[in-house]
Amino acid sequence: MTIIQSPSSNYSLSSSSNPSPIGFNPCTNINVSLFSPKKSCPTKLSVQSNTSYKNAVFMQDGAVVTRGNASENEARLKLKNELLSVKPPQEQKDGASFGFENYKSTVSITVVGASGDLAKKKIFPALFALYYEGWLPEHFTVVGYARSKMTDTELRTMVYKTLTCRVDQRENCAEKIDKFLERCFYHSGQYDSLENFAELDKNLKKHEAGRVSNRLFYLSIPPNIFINAVKCASLSASAANGWTRVIVEKPFGRDSESSGALTKALKQYLDEDQIFRIDHYLGKELVENLSVLRFSNLVFEPLWSRQYIRNVQFIFSEDFGTEGRGGYFDHYGIMRNIMQNHLLQIMALFAMETPVSLDAEDIRNEKVKVLRSMRPLVFDDVVIGQYKGDSRGGVSYPGYTDDKTVPKDSLTPTFAAASFFIDNSRWDGVPFLMKAGKALHTRRAEIRVQFKHVPGNIYNRDIGTDFDLTTNELVIRVQPDEGIYLKINNKVPGLGMRLDRGHLNLLYSARYSHEIPDAYERLLLDAIEGERRLFIRSDELDAAWSLFTPVLRELEEKKIKPEYYLYGSRGPKGAHDLASRFYVQWGDLREED
Ligand SMILES: NC(=O)C1=CN([C@@H]2O[C@H](COP(=O)(O)OP(=O)(O)OC[C@H]3O[C@@H](n4cnc5c(N)ncnc54)[C@H](OP(=O)(O)O)[C@@H]3O)[C@@H](O)[C@H]2O)C=CC1
Ligand SMILES: O=C1O[C@H](COP(=O)(O)O)[C@@H](O)[C@H](O)[C@H]1O
């Protein structure tokens, strides 16, 4: 039995399914019911389905209101979406009939900056994947908004070119694409025009057709126009009788001051709980799994402290440069682009205490505590690098400053390594190392946990002299080839006694047949459902900037020259020197690791 409490009303949604406590069991009947504490409201809405889900029955107070095909997940979702937005009769505009139709709500998703790179690359494909898999509410509309002139048909053609059926071997992809595109519309307007947003409002109302309207605005535009767009969306196009939420893309400023100013400006027009600051790394499957791994496995949680862990590493590398985005990148650099947000967020999740519950506020409270317990970075904790051109095997690779949008004398780091300490009782003295770089030898993102050596190890003489080789290491590979593996020492089979290092390996592609959803799918769905757990709260953001701002300022004021490294290499030597100060080796040094 699960109970979902509606954040916006006094309703709770309970669902039960027998006898499958975990996961989806296709051979069960399900009951999903809504209980309202207010007497004037219907007391029970439910769906019952037979084993094939062919003829699910949706009921209100025991009377059948509709029938239809439904899988268990779809039925749950449908009821959840439908019922959580129910308003008691006195709050309904017409105040009269209270049939099932009146509870129906709709979600309008406006992609602001629809003509841009992120919208095409990530947002439209993610929305389609959600639609394809049945996660979007029954009534939804997607509206692209930008200055470019486009018709609905032109938008659809543009979106169509970005869509693929993410889920392998699934049927009806073309049909689903057509159906999805029928829900997509375009509205041209300026980002700072209240009038243009008022026209958008009219357009949205047309599609919402009198239903309870919920509106999500995805700001996929350059940061200098965020505030204008938020102002116009909020003043001219907020939902009249449902929720209004805004997803804001990074960068959230470039230091404590600018971030604080952005937050202040956003809060002139929105409440904090309407702002969804996206960090797409929090939507990645393996990052989502971090808490599950730790808090639901007895074998890990007791080891998660200074007592057993020697150091923790957060590693991000890309095997391509800034190609095409150099202009944007040069203003921010790798520390703002990857470390201050993606890696730091993962680190906070990794190191937090057990939250009181899985509620967004409980989790974010714990993350803030970690961030506030960390020592701000100082100059000596940081190594910076910049890639230069190389040619190998007849191919030439451009240097960072060869990018036409980058100033020739740019000192912007494309690589950085840094060491952190969390001054609390759990982590006192444990180095947390981060490195992030572009144009390196490989593309990967991972968390590496290196454990302490076994004290008085009776097998020492069978191990050899390189004790680092015997370190137990837990690797959480966020991408690519998602997986979790633990390096252990093992006896080489045979009559002698020789140890080597083996991997206990949970490779996702071998274990799970489902394709892993893109991070944007999870985050968009969460925003639609009002789930804030994976979005950044303003105090988290402040704490994150406090850690980085002093050192970023010092690097820039002193015009510190980055250490150069070749395109496609493993990055500057300084990163190794930084780690060795703590008697640590980066775990990704060896190819087979
Ligand atoms: N692209 C990516 O991979 C990522 C992007 N982001 C963030 O997402 C947001 C959108 O990124 P992206 O799609 O790459 O951005 P784009 O540069 O592609 O801009 C999006 C749209 O905004 C409009 N626009 C661009 N520049 C201006 C301007 N100076 N004044 C007014 N309108 C402008 C254009 O639409 P029109 O002219 O039609 O109005 C453009 O199509 C940014 O905040 C970015 O930092 C974050 C992570 C990754
Ligand atoms: O936020 C950003 O992330 C991407 C890397 O994201 P991934 O999901 O492809 O790993 C990075 O390329 C970009 O520079 C940065 O702004």
* Cβ contact 518:126 at 8 Å: yes
* Span of 48-52, 323-327, 493-497, 554-558 with lowest mean pLDDT: 48-52
User: How far apart, in whole angstroms, are the C-alpha atoms of residue 269 and residue 197?
Assistant: 14
User: How far apart, in whole angstroms, are the C-alpha atoms of residue 81 and residue 106?
Assistant: 9
* Cβ contact 70:99 at 8 Å: no
DSSP string, 14-45: EEEESS-SSS--TT--EEEEEE-SSTTS-S-E
For 563-585, the pLDDT digits (tens) are 999 999 999 999 999 999 999 99
Q: What is the percentage of the chain residues whose pLDDT exceeds 90?
A: 72
Which residue minimizes the CA distance to atom 44 of ligand 1?
A: 222
Closest CA to 389 of 404, 378, 400, 405: 400
Q: Is the CB of 278 under 6 A from ligand 1?
A: no
Token pair for 172: 């009806």
Top-confidence residue, 44 or 26: 44
Which residue minimizes the CA distance to atom 15 of ligand 2?
A: 337
Upper half-sphere CA count for residue 335 (Cβ side, 13 Å): 28
pLDDT reported for residue 111: 98
DSSP string, 545-569: HHHHHHHHHHHHHTTPPPEEEETTB
Residue 377, judged by CB atoms within 10 A of its CB (0-12, 13-18, 19+), counts as buried
Ligand 2: which atom is nearest the Cα of residue 250? Answer: 1
Q: Residue 266 corresponds to which amino acid?
A: L
For 60-83, the pLDDT digits (tens) are 555 555 555 555 555 555 555 555
How remote is the CA of residue 123 from the centroid of ligand 1, in Å?
Answer: 12
Q: Is the CB of 229 under 6 A from ligand 1?
A: no
Element (H, E) at 437: strand 432-437
Token pair for 264: 């202040």
pLDDT reported for residue 127: 97
How remote is the CA of residue 440 from the centroid of ligand 2, in Å?
Answer: 14
Token pair for 247: 């997803």
Token pair for 242: 């449902």
* Span of 12-16, 113-117, 123-127, 288-292 with lowest mean pLDDT: 12-16
Closest CA to 326 of 395, 382, 398, 259: 398
pLDDT reported for residue 275: 97
Cβ burial 100-131 (10 Å sphere, 16+ → b, else e): bebbbbbbbbbbbbbbbebbbebbbbbbbbbb
Q: For residue 284, how many other CB atoms are within 10 A of its CB?
A: 24
How remote is the CA of residue 324 from the centroid of ligand 2, in Å?
Answer: 13
How remote is the CA of residue 221 from the centroid of ligand 1, in Å?
Answer: 4
* Cβ contact 39:88 at 8 Å: no
Closest CA to 319 of 436, 438, 479, 478: 438
For 32-53, the pLDDT digits (tens) are 444 333 333 344 555 555 444 4
Top-confidence residue, 496 or 236: 236
Identify the band that residue 174 occupies on the pLDDT scale cut at 50, 70 and 90: confident
pLDDT reported for residue 592: 61
User: How far apart, in whole angstroms, are the C-alpha atoms of residue 279 and residue 270?
Assistant: 19
Residue 25, pLDDT above cutoff 60: no
Q: Is 197 helix (H, G, I), strand (E, B) or coil?
A: helix
In sequence order, which residues have a C-beta less than 8 Å from that of residue 62 and are 6 or more positions away?
44
For 481-535, the pLDDT digits (tens) are 999 999 999 999 999 888 888 999 999 999 998 889 999 999 999 999 999 999 9
User: How far apart, in whole angstroms, are the C-alpha atoms of residue 538 and residue 346?
Assistant: 17
Looking at the CA of 112, name the nearest ligand: 1
How remote is the CA of residue 312 from the centroid of ligand 1, in Å?
Answer: 35
Q: Residue 182 corresponds to which amino acid?
A: E
Residue 288, pLDDT above cutoff 80: yes
Top-confidence residue, 347 or 19: 347
Top-confidence residue, 148 or 45: 148
pLDDT reported for residue 69: 54
User: How far apart, in whole angstroms, are the C-alpha atoms of residue 555 and residue 539?
Assistant: 25
Computed over every residue of the chain, the mean pLDDT equals 85
Average pLDDT over residues 428-433: 98
pLDDT reported for residue 21: 33
pLDDT reported for residue 33: 43
pLDDT reported for residue 500: 87
Interaxial angle between packed helices 226-237 and 256-269, expressed in degrees from 0 to 180 and rounded to the nearest 10: 10
pLDDT reported for residue 67: 52
Residue 231, pLDDT above cutoff 70: yes
Residue 468, pLDDT above cutoff 80: no
Residue 54, pLDDT above cutoff 60: no
pLDDT reported for residue 66: 54
Q: What is the DSSP letter of 400?
A: G
Residue 395, judged by CB atoms within 10 A of its CB (0-12, 13-18, 19+), counts as exposed
* Cβ contact 437:562 at 8 Å: no
For 250-270, the pLDDT digits (tens) are 999 999 999 999 999 999 999
Identify the band that residue 325 occupies on the pLDDT scale cut at 50, 70 and 90: confident
In sequence order, which residues have a C-beta less than 8 Å from that of residue 168 and are 6 or more positions away?
515
In sequence order, which residues have a C-beta less than 8 Å from that of residue 346 and are 6 or more positions away?
281, 282, 287, 290, 314, 447, 478
User: How far apart, in whole angstroms, are the C-alpha atoms of residue 580 and residue 382?
Assistant: 13
Q: Is the CB of 222 under 6 A from ligand 1?
A: yes
Q: Residue 451 corresponds to which amino acid?
A: F
Exactly one of 139, 280, 342, 441 is catalytic; which is it?
342
Top-confidence residue, 188 or 77: 188
pLDDT reported for residue 514: 84
In sequence order, which residues have a C-beta less than 8 Å from that of residue 153 and are 6 or more positions away?
none
User: How far apart, in whole angstroms, are the C-alpha atoms of residue 233 and residue 506?
Assistant: 45
Upper half-sphere CA count for residue 280 (Cβ side, 13 Å): 15
Token pair for 29: 């009947």
* Cβ contact 202:185 at 8 Å: no
Looking at the CA of 117, name the nearest ligand: 1
Identify the band that residue 171 occupies on the pLDDT scale cut at 50, 70 and 90: confident
Q: Is the CB of 327 under 6 A from ligand 1?
A: no
Q: Is the CB of 337 under 6 A from ligand 2?
A: yes
* Span of 166-170, 222-226, 324-328, 490-494 with lowest mean pLDDT: 166-170
Element (H, E) at 162: helix 152-162
Residue 391, pLDDT above cutoff 60: yes
